[in-house]
Amino acid sequence: MGRTLENKQQIVNELKQLLDQSEMALVLDYQGLSIKEISDLRTRLRASNGICKVTKNTLMRRAIDGDSSWSDLQSLLTGTNAFILVKGDVGGAVKAVQAFQKDTKKSETKGGLFEGKLLSQSEIKAIGELPTKEVLMAQIAGALNSVVTQVAVGIKEVPSGLARALKQHAEGVDN
């Protein structure tokens, strides 16, 4: 049984809303994946605020029609596609997809779009290799702590150095 026009419009509107909230979209060839495997991918994506939508290319074309920030997705809309829409931890979502692909060995990433720019396979791989947000925050905190420690030592050294100089001067005068 086919979808009604009203049902298709509802799907297109839902896709538009998801795209408006998303920072990045990945297009996967999902041919050969079972429902259980797609569910596994969706579960992995939840931690990074990623959503996996399987829909017809024509419905996605209608959803991106007139939206310049997503129009470059047009070139990826061939074959059987699953769309990964990410609105949070982009690196985490790419890592989740890459781990899923490594485990199942069934799907391939066709490409992606991030901030209106079409991504190559190497760029997607590079995003997946970035440290997580938590790791980056820890590195920044460590660097700031180091700077604060050095400033504190430097501030303490000024009066100590002055005291040593005065002591040497006083001992030199007395001798």
CA gap 160, 167 in Å, rounded: 10
Which tens digits make up the pLDDT trace of 103-139? 888 888 888 888 888 888 888 888 887 777 777 778 7
Element (H, E) at 119: strand 117-119
Name the CATH superfamily for 5-130: Ribosomal protein L10, N-terminal RNA-binding domain (3.30.70.1730)
CA gap 86, 43 in Å, rounded: 13
Task: Please state the pTM of the whole predicted model.
Answer: 0.70
Instruction: With beta carbons less than 8 A apart as the criterion, state whether 84 and 28 touch.
Output: yes
Q: If pLDDT is split at 50, 70 and 90, which confidence band does 65 have?
A: confident
Domain ranges of the chain: 5-130, 131-175
Average pLDDT rounded to a whole number, residues 30-36: 88
CA gap 34, 16 in Å, rounded: 26
Tokens representing residue 161 in the block:
């150095």
Of 20, 113, 3, the C-alpha closest to 63 is: 20
CA–CA–CA angle 89, 94, 98 (5° rounding): 150
